[in-house]
Structure 1
Amino acid sequence: MKKMQIILLAVIFAFAGCTDSYIDDIVAVDPGPDNAAPEILINFPIEGALIRVVEDVTSIDINFEVRDDIEVDVVTISLNGNQLESFNDFLDYRRVVKTYTYPSLGNGEHILSITATDKSGKSTVETVRFEKVEPYRPVYEGEVFYLPFDGDYTELVNIRNANVSGSPGFVNGISGRAYSGASNAYLTFPTAGLLGQEFSAVFWYKVNASPDRAGLLVIGPPDPNNPNNPNNRSKGFRFFREAAGPNQRFKLNVGNGGSDNWFDGGDAADLNPADGEWAHLAFTISGSQVTVYINGEIVSQGGFPGIDWTGCDVLSIGSGAPRFTEWGHLSDQSYFDELRLFNKALSQNEIRTIIDAEKP
């Protein structure tokens, strides 16, 4: 009972203290003059962005931030001159962060405008121009993968972005931009949807002799016997180059499930890096034959019982890593452009048609 009386007295004294202004009253502070107009940062889409999806119409998340020295009054979003949305209720009146989903962006160029007005009537407008790129339609029969390297690493048939290792770059290529290899740099993609009983790869290539050997394209399995330095050649393929005097020689190794087959054209498969020229490289794999081409000419060909893709879930571009490293065929510092993969064995005439369509 005494304890209850003590608690009650404490509450009474505390209340009395409050009424006697022992706790400071809330006093309004003059925020000062409103000198600055709002500042706007558009996080997405950015100027010059290319929106690539497989659909002709897609949604897009417009993300932006508005700041004001005193108070934001209203923010509006417009696309191509048409107002999409207006906001005037904010948790923080000095910093507004919003994401607005526009559901029906069509193909073509677009202009996004964000307008912010503060309580004193000062307004700011920020504008970005971007493009929803028309979906890529395969140009050739059997084409399942197309990587143009036009300033990004987006594969256009399936709209997939590469996993990028190291710091590769871009240079002027056969068409637009091209991949520029660098030490310890390469790209990987999952192989889902790419592998069948037949397979072809075609691309443009400008060889750099340093390093003196490198991997170009590899789809191989893990190596349980040598996981840290793999060289399991019983399945998939390995397309690579090695020094041959002043030249670089291109070789293809293909696994049939129980062993591997070699397609080495000798000096017919050589390129001289000193020429500084783009060359067109291609190879085809069927259930009975493998052929390697340089500039549309056969440089190696032979019988083959058929490829085994078991465990081949990674495509490497520009290096033998991560599945073919034991012999030192690592990152290629050469240039690559217009890489296409097919689920069929292309004929020589089909390869020449591609060359003629793409060469400058």
Structure 2
Amino acid sequence: MYIGLLLSVSFGCDQTYIDEIQSVDPGPDTSAPVVNVNFPLQGTLIRVVEDVTSIDINFEATDDIELKETVLRLDGNEIARFNEFRDFRRFLKTYTYENLTNGSHTLQVTATDLSGKSTTKSVVFEKVEPYRPVYDGEIFYLPFDGDYTELVSIRAAAVSGAPGFVDGVSGKAYAGAANAFLTFPSAGLLGSQFSAVFWYKVNASPDRAGILTIGPPDPARPNAMNNRTAGFRLFRENAGGKQRFKLNVGNGSADNWFDGGAAADIDPASGTWAHIAFTISNSQVTVYINGQVVSQGNFPGISWNGCDIITIASGAPRFTEWGHLSTQSLMDELRLFNKALSQAEIQAIIDAEKP
């Protein structure tokens, strides 16, 4: 009995009982390769501060039988060729091209299979020429031309809510919405002198709103912040059916108000763009509407203590106690400066941009 069992095991392990590996005919090669370009996509805009940069080209080529080679061309010139594949039916690759220059570019990815069939996928994209500040002291420029990218440092805003775009003074403009606003880090924007200029078309609803805010946290009122000892708060409020623009600036221990009264009123019924500007120096603050002084006063100097973000189109999150939340007005061509602009400099900006 035991002898029979051993013989059975012995015969079961004999080499003649192991199936040999045999090649399987994959069948006819009926299809051309399939090519997908994952980046850049058609219409992609590359924005960086350099005139020449690198780009990571991500693509995939597949074939029903076997790939022979894949070739990348940029503007008609071959930049890379691949003919060794770990998986002969699928090639997924990120290739870094180091010398992308300004302007429009056409990328072509061509995959060829063993039978000679090939497929080419093309995408057109653009490396946008870096923005060069136009005005002395300009450190921030947000044109709202279809995105929320600040062009001096190439930073994208953190977007809250669902703002939109409409036709503006130049190109597109920011269209405010309920609970919508933008924020940026304030690093690199804060100094002893500061100016902001922009175009604004007033929507009277809601009847009060924040416009531009750089303020510190308020630990005493975390759900209704209103710490006005540092930074500034530019906002608007109803004034007999018009909208009155006011500026509050913190000096480190208290705050100073710059309220021009009726001189700082804009009638929403006019439906026109108004140019808003304000300047802060070590000794004075001035508010302008359409190039004219509407409020001005002595000032001991601004404190930026705790002011780590800038909010655009709302008082939130740092100036909310009095209900100055998101504006539903339009805003365009926002520029910030590290100097106190003169009235003549402000007028020059208006003349260059006015619709």
Question: Is 1:156–2:147 an aligned residue pair?
Answer: no
Q: CA deviation at 1:137?
A: 1.2
RMSD over aligned CA atoms reads 1.9
The match for 1:343 is 338
1 CA distance for matches of 2:203 and 2:163?
14
- Equivalent residue letter for 1:167: A
1 CA distance for matches of 2:325 and 2:222?
16
User: Can you list the C-alpha shifts for 1:233-278, whole angstroms capped at 9, x where unaligned?
Assistant: 1100001111223222111110001111111112221222222211
List gaps (5 residues or longer) in structure 2: 1-5
The match for 1:127 is 122
1:187-226 pair list within 5 angstroms: 187-226=182-221
2 CA distance for matches of 1:207 and 1:98?
50
Question: Is 1:78–2:70 an aligned residue pair?
Answer: no
The match for 2:174 is 179
- Equivalent residue letter for 1:107: N
- Equivalent residue letter for 1:199: F
SS for the counterpart of 1:76 is strand
The match for 2:43 is 48
- Equivalent residue letter for 2:201: K
- Find 1:19's aligned residue among 10, 15, 18: 15
Q: CA deviation at 1:355?
A: 0.5
2 CA distance for matches of 1:256 and 1:301?
16
- Find 1:266's aligned residue among 253, 258, 261: 261
Q: What percent identity do the matched residue pairs reach?
A: 70
Seen in structure 2, the aligned counterparts of structure 1 residues 324 and 16 have a Cα distance that, compared at 3 Å, is same
User: Can you list the C-alpha shifts for 1:116-161, whole angstroms capped at 9, x where unaligned?
Assistant: 1122211111112222222211111111111111111111111111
Seen in structure 2, the aligned counterparts of structure 1 residues 233 and 14 have a Cα distance that, compared at 3 Å, is farther
1:223-238 pair list within 5 angstroms: 223-238=218-233
Q: CA deviation at 1:18?
A: 6.5
Q: CA deviation at 1:26?
A: 4.2
- Equivalent residue letter for 1:219: I
- Find 2:112's aligned residue among 99, 114, 117: 117
List gaps (5 residues or longer) in structure 1: 1-8
| More divergent stretch after superposition (349-358 vs 243-252) | 243-252
2 CA distance for matches of 1:225 and 1:258?
16
Q: CA deviation at 1:231?
A: 0.7
1 CA distance for matches of 2:97 and 2:234?
45
The match for 1:5 is none
TM-score, normalised to structure 1, is: 0.92
Q: CA deviation at 1:95?
A: 2.5
Seen in structure 2, the aligned counterparts of structure 1 residues 70 and 285 have a Cα distance that, compared at 3 Å, is same
- Equivalent residue letter for 2:204: A
Question: Is 1:239–2:234 an aligned residue pair?
Answer: yes
- Equivalent residue letter for 1:187: L
Q: CA deviation at 1:316?
A: 0.6
- Find 1:290's aligned residue among 261, 285, 294: 285
The match for 1:248 is 243
1 CA distance for matches of 2:186 and 2:84?
48
2 CA distance for matches of 1:14 and 1:237?
91
Seen in structure 2, the aligned counterparts of structure 1 residues 94 and 253 have a Cα distance that, compared at 3 Å, is same
Q: CA deviation at 1:115?
A: 0.8
The match for 1:358 is 353
Seen in structure 2, the aligned counterparts of structure 1 residues 14 and 139 have a Cα distance that, compared at 3 Å, is farther
1 CA distance for matches of 2:212 and 2:320?
12
2 CA distance for matches of 1:68 and 1:13?
45
